[in-house]
Amino acid sequence: MKRTFLILFAYLLSGYAALSQTPVGSVFDETRLKMRVKQLDEFVARFNCEKDVEGKSIKDKEDTAMRKRYVAGLFDRNLLVNDSIKRKFIAFAEKVVNPKAPVYLRFADSDWTAEAICRATFNGKQVQISMFLKTDRVRDDEYKWAIVSADGEMFNLTPKQQNPNIRISPVDNELGFMNMSDISSGENRRNVVHYSPQGYSPDRLTVFNTLVYNGLLKINHVQKIVYRFEQVPGYVFTVEHFERATGNVGWLISKLIEIKNEKP
Amino acid sequence: MKKIVYILIFALSATLFTPLKAQTLTLSDKEQAEFKERINTMLETFLNDLSSIGSKDNSIEFKKAVIKSTLRNFINNGDPYRDSSGYLKKEPHMQTSVLRNGKEYKNKLPIKTYLNNLMYIRYEKVTITMSETLYLSNLYKVGDHYEANATYFQYFRGEHGDGRLYQDKTKKTIRIIVQIEEVYGKKVFVVRFGDIDVVQTVA
Amino acid sequence: MKAIKLLLTIIVIAGLSIKSHSQTFHAIVFADTDDPKIGASVKRDMEKIQNEIGMIVSSTRMWLNGYYHSGREANKEQLLTVLQNLRCEPEDVVFFYYSGHGGRAVDDRSKYPQIRFKASDSEAYPMSKVDEVIAAKRPKFRIVMGDLCNSISDYLSVKSETGSGKSVVENDVYENLFKNVKGSVLVASSKSNETSIAFPDGGAFTTCFLNELGRIVSGNQQADWKVLLEKTQKATVKAANHTPVFEVNVNSGSSQSASSSTPVTGQQTNNSFLNALINMADNGGDRNQRVRSVQPVLHEYFDSPHSIVEIFGRDGKTRLVRENAQEFLERVSTSYKLINFVELDVKKTNGGKITYVKLHEIYRK
């Protein structure tokens, strides 16, 4: 049964290449453009079996077989390099469409993230940073994207080597904390975290906000977006945009990670 | 404020006339098709306008008139504007991404500047073709209005007088801003364009 | 000197008598829109028929003489005046359409009913007589059509398939049905002793006719009046349980039409405001001139730059655009593929300046 499905699976995926025939005189291969996953909104609509490739509503969303086909069509085909990986993806698709507990993606879900990889300017230098965003409820019927964290070299305040001797002495207060200026001078400023309590971990979002607020970090543009979804129990998958001259193009599942020891 | 009001009346849908509780505005298949057709028409007009503005066959006088007309399709006629809370929002921009020797170059311009630059483009002839395929996202509530994105594909062909040719295919995603207004006691949709993102495609 | 004067006179007369335009499409539409029972439905018929006429003339490139009478103007006296004053050339087409009450006298022999303006016997006029009068004017082709509604139904049992968007001229179907033919078509919405039904969105017969016509046009099918009316008849019976009656005497005829390579353009009409718009639209005129004509047209026809213009879809009820006169004219002057307009409603000041106008726009493909 699984072998049959593997064959069918392969056929369905390869079918995307066979579909596109540019009519004579036409600038565009409209079939191929329809197949393309043009927006993340469309990715979600196909994943949930809500809209077909024409963008029209699907009446029977509960049709498991059809939904499996749509989910299969959302994989980056280049990932499916061997049977073992294909089986993993099939298992994933079956989990998604399981009629007892089907999984649907919703904009308002809290377990998905957008990572915006950006070019920025920090201290006059061109740098690359990542900003992580989640959907955030404004009120009953309204949501927005909110920045929840950031990543980049400038957010990493913890020095590579911890030195327990870098501290403010317990008797410095009687000297009016006269050496406080050392904390921010020269290279010693890189040890600033040492002067915080035990167990302190810098909050990257606050660091990001502070840098931007003070004009020290300027975001130039977003180079790439990677979405990370955790809604399917036992799996984490990422979605990225692929631009290439095949039928398997647009917003597609770029990585699928199986999480062992998932909570029941 | 003068404005063009693109109006869609969905007489049969009760959802439009009830307080909008859902995060996305639900349209029936028929309403969705009508809305899509309306956006398609606006986009076709926009692309035709771009061809007119970029064409050497047209005088600057005509091109300026086309630009004025085109900008009416954009939020606040392509100028910065204050939202309902008084916050000043940037005018719509056109961002282009071009791949050259494996590297990506992005350029962002206010739509007015983009159109004015297009007036003086050096091609003898400009042809801009739009794909039939158009994807319209859901309409999401944002404050006092709704927003969606429309994605379509464009083929641009610029011919120089000496026979040199530039052509490209791009994917365009354009923000659609929908305000609901009362006109003669009926709720109607007012549709305008916002930012445009242009990404070069391989095929 | 006498010879020169004579020559000049001949030239002037010749100039006056030479048609400055080709074939004329005379559209005579009477609609009893004031009737308390069926008026709203009749109004919908009129809007849809007007839009259809716009498509016909845009596709066939005929000059339009439009005589549209509704409300108080839809009466027997006005009908007689229009028919009396109708002047046709041998290549012309006459399309007569009536929507409103009908009936028949006890001694009526004709299978066609009488038009009954305001549901009054004193305002009655036989459809067959309308046909006779028009025939006597000897146009090349005439259509006399009546949707004579007697009864209103609240149930929507036929869906109008008329689109809600703009109209686009696509193919030769209209030419084959309205221009390249000779003869006559006479059709009424129901046979003797039957009641025609009016739905809220228009008369059953008119809706079915426009649906069938729309299918032929959009499917670019072989056009034939007999087939079209047979299909309409079948659809009307199914939808409303009354049987349209018709006579088709049509032959393919030649015409003085322009070659098919001539681009489709909006043709001129007997409505000077629409003519001004057509000249301003994308009909091959000089582009700078189009843009420069905005202010003159604005001052000539509109009460103010803020006068309201509303553009409606093909179905006459979907509002697509609402703008002021200035914006509208600026848009038209730079438009692409916009070739023609149908005026569905207009409000004017006492001085004849437009304060509000409701239009439908027609584009070429």
Domain residue ranges of chain C, discontinuous segments joined by +: 22-252, 272-364
Task: Report whether pLDDT(B153) > 70.
Answer: yes
Task: Report whether pLDDT(B18) > 70.
Answer: no
Considering CB atoms only, which of B135, B136, B202 is closest to A243? Answer: B202
Angle subtended at Cα C179 by Cα C176 and Cα C185, rounded to the nearest 5 degrees: 85
Which tops the pLDDT comparison, C13 or C88?
Answer: C88
Six token digits for residue C15: 């100039």
Instruction: Give the mean model confidence (pLDDT) for residues A218-229.
Output: 95
Position C266 scores a pLDDT of 62
Interstrand relation of C141-152 and C181-188 (parallel, antiparallel or unpaired): parallel
Q: Does B22 contact A141 at a Cβ distance shorter than 8 Å? A: yes
Distance of CA B51 to the CA centre of its chain: 14
Task: Report whether pLDDT(C270) > 60.
Answer: yes
> Residue A183: phi, psi to the nearest 5?
-60, -35
Six token digits for residue A206: 């606050």
- Are B130 and B157 a contacting pair, CB within 8 Å? no
Q: Does A142 contact B142 at a Cβ distance shorter than 8 Å? A: yes
The closest of A66, B85, A119, B184 to C319, measured between CA atoms, is B184
- Determine the topology of domain C22-252 in CATH: Rossmann fold (3.40.50)
CATH code, C272-364: 3.10.450
Instruction: Give the mean model confidence (pLDDT) for residues C92-117.
Output: 88
Which of A17-21, B96-100, C318-322 ranks highest by mean pLDDT?
A: C318-322
Locate the domains of chain A by residue range: 2-105+231-239+247-258, 107-157+202-228, 163-197
What contacts 24+ positions apart, CB below 8 Å, involve B160-165? B160/B122, B160/B123, B160/B124, B161/B124
Six token digits for residue A146: 């909110």
Task: Report whether pLDDT(B185) > 80.
Answer: no
The pLDDT tens digits of the residues spanning C217-240 come to 888 888 799 999 999 999 999 999
Least confident range from A77-86, A107-116, A198-207, C101-110: namely C101-110
Instruction: Give the mean model confidence (pLDDT) for residues A136-156.
Output: 91
- Are C142 and C296 a contacting pair, CB within 8 Å? no
Q: Choose the CATH number for B7-11+23-200 among 3.40.50.720, 3.40.50.300, 3.10.450.50, 3.10.20.30.
A: 3.10.450.50
Alpha-carbon distance C223 to nearest alpha carbon in chain B (angstroms): 28
Considering CB atoms only, which of A34, A142, A245 is closest to B23? Answer: A142
The pLDDT tens digits of the residues spanning C21-44 come to 578 999 999 999 999 989 999 999
Position A9 scores a pLDDT of 43
Position A231 scores a pLDDT of 96
Name the average pLDDT for chain A: 86
Angle subtended at Cα A139 by Cα A138 and Cα A145, rounded to the nearest 5 degrees: 25
Task: Report whether pLDDT(C80) > 60.
Answer: yes
Q: Does B36 contact A55 at a Cβ distance shorter than 8 Å? A: yes
Chain B residues in contact with C321 by the CB 8 A cut-off are 4-7
Instruction: Give the mean model confidence (pLDDT) for residues C150-156.
Output: 54
Position B84 scores a pLDDT of 80
- Are B117 and B109 a contacting pair, CB within 8 Å? yes
What 8-state DSSP symbol labels residue A23? P
pLDDT band, very low/low/confident/very high, at C258 (cuts 50, 70, 90): very low
Distance CA C241, CA C235 (A): 9
Instruction: Give the mean model confidence (pLDDT) for residues B168-189.
Output: 82
Instruction: Give the mean model confidence (pLDDT) for residues A204-222.
Output: 95
Six token digits for residue C40: 């709203």
Instruction: Give the mean model confidence (pLDDT) for residues B131-151.
Output: 90
The answer to whether residue A55 neighbours chain B at the CB level (below 8 Å) is: yes
Chain A residues in contact with B140 by the CB 8 A cut-off are 107, 143
Considering CB atoms only, which of C165, C330, C336 is closest to B37? Answer: C165
Position C261 scores a pLDDT of 43
Q: What percent of chain C has pLDDT over 70?
A: 87
- Are A124 and B6 a contacting pair, CB within 8 Å? no
Position C157 scores a pLDDT of 53
Least confident range from B47-51, B113-117, B174-178: namely B47-51
- Are A37 and A10 a contacting pair, CB within 8 Å? no
Q: Does A244 contact B203 at a Cβ distance shorter than 8 Å? A: yes
Cα torsion C266, C272, C273, C277: sign: positive
Considering CB atoms only, which of B3, B9, B52 is closest to C319? Answer: B9
Name the average pLDDT for chain C: 86
- Are C6 and C13 a contacting pair, CB within 8 Å? no
- Are C19 and C89 a contacting pair, CB within 8 Å? yes
Chain C residues in contact with B41 by the CB 8 A cut-off are 165-166
Distance of CA C231 to the CA centre of its chain: 22
Q: How far apart are the two ends of chain A, measured CA to CA in Å?
A: 27
Tell me how many helices (H) and strands (E) chain C has.
11, 16
The number of residues in chain C equals 365
The contacts of residue A246 (CB under 8 Å, 6+ apart) are A16, A17, A77
Angle subtended at Cα B176 by Cα B174 and Cα B182, rounded to the nearest 5 degrees: 165
Cα torsion C239, C241, C246, C251: sign: positive
| Cα separations in angstroms, C363 against C85, C221, C314 | 32, 21, 11
Position A141 scores a pLDDT of 80
pLDDT band, very low/low/confident/very high, at A147 (cuts 50, 70, 90): very high
Instruction: Give the mean model confidence (pLDDT) for residues B135-153.
Output: 90
| C181, HSE (Cβ side, Cα atoms, 13 Å) | 25
pLDDT band, very low/low/confident/very high, at C14 (cuts 50, 70, 90): very low
Instruction: Give the mean model confidence (pLDDT) for residues A242-248.
Output: 88
pLDDT band, very low/low/confident/very high, at C18 (cuts 50, 70, 90): very low
Distance CA A122, CA A129 (A): 10
Six token digits for residue B187: 């709720």
Q: Residue A19: in which H helix or E strand, if any?
A: helix A2-19
Distance CA C333, CA C289 (A): 9
**Identity of the residue numbered A160:** K
How many CB atoms within 10 Å of residue A255? 13
- Are C26 and C86 a contacting pair, CB within 8 Å? yes
Task: Report whether pLDDT(C176) > 70.
Answer: yes
- Are C164 and C313 a contacting pair, CB within 8 Å? yes
- Are C323 and C309 a contacting pair, CB within 8 Å? yes
Instruction: Give the mean model confidence (pLDDT) for residues A187-196.
Output: 90
Locate the domains of chain B by residue range: 7-11+23-200
Instruction: Give the mean model confidence (pLDDT) for residues A127-132.
Output: 97
Distance CA C114, CA C122 (A): 11
Position B9 scores a pLDDT of 40
The number of residues in chain A equals 264
Distance CA C311, CA C325 (A): 12
> Residue A188: phi, psi to the nearest 5?
-60, -20
Six token digits for residue A130: 């990542």
The contacts of residue A166 (CB under 8 Å, 6+ apart) are A191, A194, A195
